[in-house]
Amino acid sequence: MADLPRIVSLAPSATETVRALDATDRLVGVTNHCEDFERGRSAERAPTRVGGWLNPDYDAVAELNPDLVLTADDLQTEVTNKLRGRGYRVVQFSPTTLGEVVESFAEIGRTVGDPKAGHDLAWRARSRLHRVRSLVAPYDRPVVYCEEWPDPPMAAGNWVPQAVEVAGGSHPFVEPGERSHEVSTEEIESAAPEHVVCHYCGRGDSADPESVVERNLDVPAVERGNVHVLHDSLLNQPSPRLLDGVERLAVSLHPEIARQ
């Protein structure tokens, strides 16, 4: 344990990737937004909570004396710069496309001192994506509207359009790699999505499909009852959870593959 780097993760995506690398024993600090670590670990060894991902408690970070701090997303640039100004080694991962997300698994593995685990995790991710592509290949591609936030309506961007493509759909609202942005009712209805996916940032899986129905969107998805809810981490988080999200989305769009 003494030889392992002391890591503070200030991003849930980095924390989940470290978890998937089987390197949680190196984590001494995480954000309040990261999932519980009590499963499989004693309470004494659970990492310390150090505040929010955009407003960490810098004194709490200092008390942990980390060798490495992980951040993610350009929104954390100010946090990253403040920590570097205090003399910490900070590595920031800001993937915007699906390919960059997968590559970040290997990069995080190298950063935390386990390049083989990172390479293997990225390889498994690519294999899972290839399998989903193969399963959905025989079917038509429905138009899918992925809503990251309901008021105002925000169409999901970054890697989500590519995740939808892998899952056997089409998401014409945002170009891959671009930030999520507001869309009008007219834009949504003009695209005539056959499926609506609600994955509201910070709300877990508590979105209510009826709230979409009550907006009276004149789209096939509402008429056919194809309004789905995914836990926000399954599409919004650039971590291995995204692979789970792609697989679940593929089944929602093409239920036939669940029997394969």
Last residue of a domain, one of 64, 94, 124: 94
Same domain, yes or no, for 85 and 147?
A: no
Q: What is the average pLDDT across 150-160?
A: 95
pLDDT, tens digit, 9 for 90 and up, residues 227-258: 999 999 999 999 999 999 999 999 999 999 98
The answer to whether residue 126 is domain-embedded is: no
What is d(CA 137, CA 2) in angstroms, rounded to the nearest whole number? 49
Which residues are registered as beta bridge partners of 181?
155
Same domain, yes or no, for 168 and 255?
A: yes
pLDDT above 50: residue 43: no
One-letter-per-residue 3-state SS of 90-133 = EEEECCCCHHHHHHHHHHHHHHCCCHHHHHHHHHHHHHHHHHHH
Same domain, yes or no, for 158 and 250?
A: yes
Residue 122 contacts residue 105 (beta carbons within 8 Å): yes
Same domain, yes or no, for 158 and 240?
A: yes
Same domain, yes or no, for 156 and 211?
A: yes
Same domain, yes or no, for 162 and 56?
A: no
The answer to whether residue 116 is domain-embedded is: no
Same domain, yes or no, for 86 and 143?
A: no
Q: What is the average pLDDT across 1-10?
A: 80
The answer to whether residue 190 is domain-embedded is: yes
Mean pLDDT, the chain, integer = 93
Cα of 226 vs its chain's centroid, Å? 23
Range of the domain at 82: 1-94
Number of structural domains the chain divides into:
2
Name the nearest CA neighbour of 244 among 153, 124, 151, 139: 124
The answer to whether residue 128 is domain-embedded is: no
Q: What is the pLDDT of residue 38?
A: 53
More confident residue, 116 or 35: 116
The answer to whether residue 73 is domain-embedded is: yes
Q: What is the pLDDT of residue 81?
A: 96
pLDDT above 60: residue 116: yes
pLDDT, tens digit, 9 for 90 and up, residues 158-176: 999 999 999 999 999 999 9
The answer to whether residue 122 is domain-embedded is: no
Same domain, yes or no, for 151 and 238?
A: yes
Cα dihedral 197, 201, 204, 205 in deg (nearest 10): -20
Angle at 201 between CA 220 and CA 152, to 5 degrees: 60
Residue 127, burial from CB neighbour count under 10 angstroms (0-12, 13-18, 19+): exposed
Confidence of residue 214 (pLDDT cuts 50, 70, 90): confident
What is d(CA 232, CA 108) in angstroms, rounded to the nearest whole number? 22
Close Cβ partners of 222 (under 8 Å, ≥ 6 residues apart): 196, 212, 213
Angle at 111 between CA 105 and CA 113, to 5 degrees: 105
pTM, to two decimals = 0.92
pLDDT, tens digit, 9 for 90 and up, residues 70-103: 999 889 999 999 999 999 999 999 999 999 999 9
Name the nearest CA neighbour of 19 among 3, 43, 39, 4: 39
User: Identity (one letter) of the amino acid at 118?
Assistant: G
Same domain, yes or no, for 87 and 160?
A: no
The answer to whether residue 253 is domain-embedded is: yes
pLDDT above 80: residue 44: no
Q: What is the average pLDDT across 34-53?
A: 72
Radius of gyration of the chain (CA): 19
